[in-house]
């Protein structure tokens, strides 16, 4: 996508009916009701159009409604096998995917690589082939090497959903982050006679922390700029390496700002997303110490005061409270961090549903 197309201002709050008949964005689908979703795999968010992102948002709305039912389950993926293959330790995301797949009535196989034959040296290619031979229709994978899901997608006959690869991408996280922001920030109303503006038009969104190693950040760059946000990246200069070149070119031409000045970054921000800082960054010489990082870049109540009073505070988790984010901010009134977890299941249900429709 080269232009940030206006996204439908589908910011229905939880108290209104989710869809009202006749609302243009609801009935936007053509008469045959086939969907503009043609991606067999979801490996990255860089090529999603504004329409496709909007479709994910609306489908997530429907999944949120399902999660609110007494029986939070629908048979949409009945008879399908979803195999989850995580090469990195992660309880929350792995379980989130499993819950999402089961809520759609899929059969789930959950593989944590540390316990499998991967530790005996089985290659990724062999593992994927075995999984396919065992009947998997969809493969959700997380891998420490950037690009690994592309290799899997080349050989896997069903759909591959990237649960995070190296430093590169975390599509479901970026989409759930966007969904969460959309939930908390009412869209700017359209001028009479004008089309709806982009979902985050006029909103300043700041991603703060270890950008260099963050796949969450890279994917959010694509989705937030596509939604029209005024995006700022902020962190110590050693952890911003390479992003200035990207910012000046833009994500598919959509520019953003990179700075080490945290006060400038936070000033009047509508959304602040704090990223986890890891101890290993010190060991590799990128930072003097975590204490210095916390002192200069930690998101504290004092620093947050520079942002808008109703600023939305987010964190993809797991958090190092007291380092990148102060405990009172993480638990404070601006924080939507726990909501991100709930939305995570709904977004993953939406994506599994959309991908399942593309099997040949």
Which CB atom, from 18 or from 112, has the smaller least distance to other proteins? 18
Query: Parallel, antiparallel, or unpaired: how do β-strands 159-165 and 271-274 relate?
Result: unpaired
Q: Which residue's structure tokens are 């997380």? A: 142
Minimum CB–partner distance for residue 250 and other proteins (Å): 8
Does 74 help bind other proteins (rule: CB under 8 A)? yes
Minimum CB–partner distance for residue 22 and other proteins (Å): 5
Minimum CB–partner distance for residue 168 and other proteins (Å): 3
C-beta separation of 160 from 352 below 8 A: no
Residues 6+ apart with CB under 8 A from 90: 142, 164
User: Which range of residues in 88-96, 142-150, 275-283, 327-335 is near other proteins by CB under 8 A?
Assistant: 142-150
Residue environment code for 304-316, b if the CB has 16+ CB neighbours within 10 A, otherwise e: beebbeebbbbbb
Count of other CB atoms within 10 angstroms of residue 68: 10
Minimum CB–partner distance for residue 287 and other proteins (Å): 17
Sheet holding 107-112, edge to edge: 107-112, 81-86, 138-143, 159-165
Beta strands per DSSP E along the chain: 81-86, 107-112, 138-143, 159-165, 204-208, 230-234, 257-259, 271-274, 312-314
Does 167 help bind other proteins (rule: CB under 8 A)? yes
Does 67 help bind other proteins (rule: CB under 8 A)? no
Does 24 help bind other proteins (rule: CB under 8 A)? no
Residues 6+ apart with CB under 8 A from 302: none
Does 151 help bind other proteins (rule: CB under 8 A)? yes
Of positions 142, 182, 203, 218, contacts other proteins by CB under 8 A: 218
User: Which range of residues in 53-61, 173-181, 263-271, 297-305 is near other proteins by CB under 8 A?
Assistant: 53-61
Minimum CB–partner distance for residue 103 and other proteins (Å): 10
Which CB atom, from 161 or from 299, has the smaller least distance to other proteins? 161
Minimum CB–partner distance for residue 143 and other proteins (Å): 7
How far apart are alpha carbons 351 and 104 in whole angstroms? 11
Does 166 help bind other proteins (rule: CB under 8 A)? yes
Q: Which of 135, 275, 128 is nearest to 207 (CA)?
A: 275
Minimum CB–partner distance for residue 201 and other proteins (Å): 21
Does 34 help bind other proteins (rule: CB under 8 A)? yes
No. of helices (H) and no. of strands (E), the chain: 13, 9
Which CB atom, from 36 or from 327, has the smaller least distance to other proteins? 36
Minimum CB–partner distance for residue 198 and other proteins (Å): 18
DSSP labels, 103-129 = HTT-EEEEEEGGGSGGGGT--HHHHHH
Does 332 help bind other proteins (rule: CB under 8 A)? no
Q: Which residue's structure tokens are 């709050």? A: 13
Which CB atom, from 27 or from 268, has the smaller least distance to other proteins? 27
How far apart are alpha carbons 64 and 61 in whole angstroms? 5
Which CB atom, from 21 or from 309, has the smaller least distance to other proteins? 21
The contact pattern for other proteins, residues 270-299, with x = CB under 8 A and - = no contact, is ------------------------------
Does 2 help bind other proteins (rule: CB under 8 A)? yes
Element (H, E) at 174: helix 171-184
Of positions 14, 114, 134, 145, contacts other proteins by CB under 8 A: 145
Q: Which of 55, 170, 175, 161 is nearest to 106 (CA)?
A: 161
How far apart are alpha carbons 150 and 96 in whole angstroms? 22
* Interacting residues with other proteins (CB under 8 A): 2, 17-19, 21-22, 26-27, 29, 31-35, 37-38, 46, 55, 58-59, 61-62, 65-66, 69-71, 73-76, 79, 104, 123-125, 143-148, 150-151, 153-154, 165-169, 215, 218, 241-243, 245-246, 249, 251-253, 353-354, 356-359
């Amino acid at each position: 996508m080269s232009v940030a197309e206006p996204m439908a201002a589908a910011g229905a709050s939880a108290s209104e009916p989710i869809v009202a008949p006749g609302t243009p964005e609801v009935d936007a689908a053509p008469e045959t009701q086939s969907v503009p979703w043609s991606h067999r795999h979801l490996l990255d968010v860089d090529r999603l159009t504004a329409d496709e992102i909007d479709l994910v948002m609306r489908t997530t709305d429907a999944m949120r409604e399902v999660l609110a039912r007494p029986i939070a389950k629908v048979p949409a993926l009945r008879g399908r096998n979803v195999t989850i293959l995580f090469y990195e330790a992660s309880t929350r995301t792995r379980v989130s995917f499993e819950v999402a797949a089961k809520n759609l009535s899929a059969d789930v196989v959950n593989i944590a690589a540390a316990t499998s034959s991967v530790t005996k040296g089985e290659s990724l290619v062999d593992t994927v082939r075995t999984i396919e031979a065992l009947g998997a229709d969809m493969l959700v994978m997380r891998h420490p090497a950037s690009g690994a899901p592309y290799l899997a997608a080349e050989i896997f006959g069903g759909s591959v959903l990237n649960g995070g690869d190296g430093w590169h991408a975390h599509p479901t996280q970026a989409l759930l982050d966007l969904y969460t922001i959309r939930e908390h920030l009412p869209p700017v109303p359209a001028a009479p006679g004008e089309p709806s503006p982009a979902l985050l038009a006029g909103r300043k969104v700041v991603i703060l922390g270890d950008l260099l190693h963050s796949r969450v950040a890279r994917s959010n760059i694509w989705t937030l700029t596509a939604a029209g946000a005024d995006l700022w990246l902020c962190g110590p200069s050693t952890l911003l390496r390479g992003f200035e070149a990207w910012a000046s070119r833009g994500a598919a031409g959509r520019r953003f700002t990179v700075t080490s000045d945290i006060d400038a970054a936070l000033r009047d921000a509508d959304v602040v997303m704090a990223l986890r800082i890891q101890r290993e960054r010190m060991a590799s010489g990128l930072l003097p110490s975590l204490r210095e990082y916390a002192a200069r870049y930690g998101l504290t109540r004092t620093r947050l005061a520079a942002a808008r009073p109703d600023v939305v505070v987010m964190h993809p988790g797991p958090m190092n409270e007291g380092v990148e984010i102060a405990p009172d901010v993480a638990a404070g009134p601006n924080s939507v961090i726990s909501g991100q977890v709930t939305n995570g299941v709904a977004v993953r249900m939406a994506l599994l549903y959309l991908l399942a429709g593309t099997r040949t």
